[in-house]
Structure 1
Amino acid sequence: MSSAVRSLGFASNGTCWFRATALVVLGAFSLLFSGCASGPVAAGAPAKVMPDVQVLNPGDVIRIAFPGSPSLDTSQQIRRDGRINLAIIGELKVVDKTPAQLEAELLKAYDSQLVSKEIKVTLVSSAYSVYVQGAVMKPGKITPERALTAFDAVMEAGGFTPTANPKKVIVIRQEDGQVKTYPLDMKKVLNGEASEPFYLKAYDTVSVPEKISWF
């Protein structure tokens, strides 16, 4: 076989190898994106969470005081279904309400039973917690005593690891009967750029991915 033919055969084999490799890479990307499509729903703008507004969550312990009718006073832990059981009116859903909103609702419900039109709802202990997973120094559960942003949660978890990709952080949230994801670019925060804080809700998960390395 001449050297020209051998050279041509090598080029042909090299081309085939390149094409095969390209097909494998494309196939891997297809599997990656098809797998992502079956995961949580990508959501738009999240519902606003005000840092100075405290809402009640399952697991919270609340005290309801009736100054004019102390026999009705009660302290209860909010059940997983978001309800408590009260004298006279029975079952009542209380989650996602502020103590002030619950007070107003109870005043209407007990209107005919009260001598003194006054009810006080106090949060005794909070079950508010969030989770941080992935490329952070101390992944796990955080139980804050204040409103927390996603960036705050990452810092509470020890900050990013050297392999973290802060541009691709997502918040996973159960909302409206679905698991939704909210993408966040925390690189902007690290660079000192202005960005709107993303306040977390109870049981949110902040997921920090690692940078993709091909080598």
Structure 2
Amino acid sequence: MSFASRKSLTTVALVSIATALAACSTSQPAPKSFDQAAVQPYRLDSGDRLRITVFEQSGLSNTYTVDQAGYIAFPLIGQVAARGETLPALEGAIATRLKQGYLRDPDVTIEVDRYRPVFVMGEVGRPGQYSYVPGMTAQNAIAIAGGFTPRGNQRDVDVTRKINGRIFTGRTEVSSPVLAGDTIHVRERLF
């Protein structure tokens, strides 16, 4: 084999390795909005199940699920927009609508009965959808999903999160908090 052929093969091999490494590192570090979203009040979205209590109104007090369009169907007042709202804001919206001809001074309280799930994918024992618990970290979610596979990168993970209606993906440490609705992807480690 001539020197030019060996040099050409070496160049092709180096380009292939560089391309493979670049493909493995396409995810950027998590933006600052990731950390900010973790300390903001909880924002409702599709899949959240709410326990809504209207004081002394047992016929209205029940559990309601935020549908795919982001609404809850509430007796007397119909569809109420819930997506992106905080619990106090939704309490106020329901109370205001109930005051419009139904109740004189409604006292509405809302608690999250069940949060929307988190999704764990990639190099874990059992990829899938799992229940979210407040205070959960990526490592907690991975443990629930059967832990890392032998090929799993245990240093950091890619998290996809919806913030203010936009979807972001960023690389975070496994000890980082996750939010309801997040998708956690465990990459394969290189070595």
TM norm structure 2: 0.74
Q: Report the Cα distance in structure 2 between the residues aligned to 1:33 and 1:84, rounded to whole angstroms.
A: 44
Alignment partner, residue 118 of structure 1: 107
Deviation of 1:207 after TM superposition, in Å, equals: 1.1
Which structure carries more helix by proportion?
Answer: 1
Judge conservation of contact 1:42–1:180 (CA < 8 Å) in 2. Answer: no
Alignment partner, residue 44 of structure 1: 31
Q: Report the Cα distance in structure 2 between the residues aligned to 1:128 and 1:150, rounded to whole angstroms.
A: 16
SS of equivalent residue, structure 1 residue 97: coil
SS of equivalent residue, structure 2 residue 141: helix
Judge conservation of contact 1:67–1:116 (CA < 8 Å) in 2. Answer: no
Q: Report the Cα distance in structure 1 between the residues aligned to 2:44 and 2:164, rounded to whole angstroms.
A: 17
Q: Does 1:185 align with 2:163?
A: no
Deviation of 1:115 after TM superposition, in Å, equals: 2.5
Q: Report the Cα distance in structure 2 between the residues aligned to 1:112 and 1:140, rounded to whole angstroms.
A: 44
- The higher radius of gyration belongs to 1
Alignment partner, residue 189 of structure 2: 211
Matches within 5 A, 1:122-161: 122-123=111-112, 125-161=113-149
Q: Report the Cα distance in structure 1 between the residues aligned to 2:62 and 2:130, rounded to whole angstroms.
A: 29
Unaligned residue ranges in structure 2 (runs of 5+): none
Alignment partner, residue 62 of structure 1: 50
Judge conservation of contact 2:161–2:169 (CA < 8 Å) in 1. Answer: yes
SS of equivalent residue, structure 2 residue 37: coil
The AA in structure 1 aligned to 2:8 is R
4+ runs deviating over 6 angstroms = 34-37
Q: Does 1:77 align with 2:55?
A: no
The AA in structure 1 aligned to 2:54 is F
| Number of positions where the alignment pairs a residue of Structure 1 with one of Structure 2 | 188
The AA in structure 2 aligned to 1:140 is G
> Using a 3 Å threshold, how does the CA distance of structure 1 residues 49 and 208 change in structure 2: closer, same or farther?
same
Q: Report the Cα distance in structure 1 between the residues aligned to 2:136 and 2:109, rounded to whole angstroms.
A: 26
Judge conservation of contact 1:58–1:127 (CA < 8 Å) in 2. Answer: no
RMSD: 3.4
The AA in structure 2 aligned to 1:84 is I
Deviation of 1:72 after TM superposition, in Å, equals: 4.6
Q: Report the Cα distance in structure 2 between the residues aligned to 1:139 and 1:25, rounded to whole angstroms.
A: 34
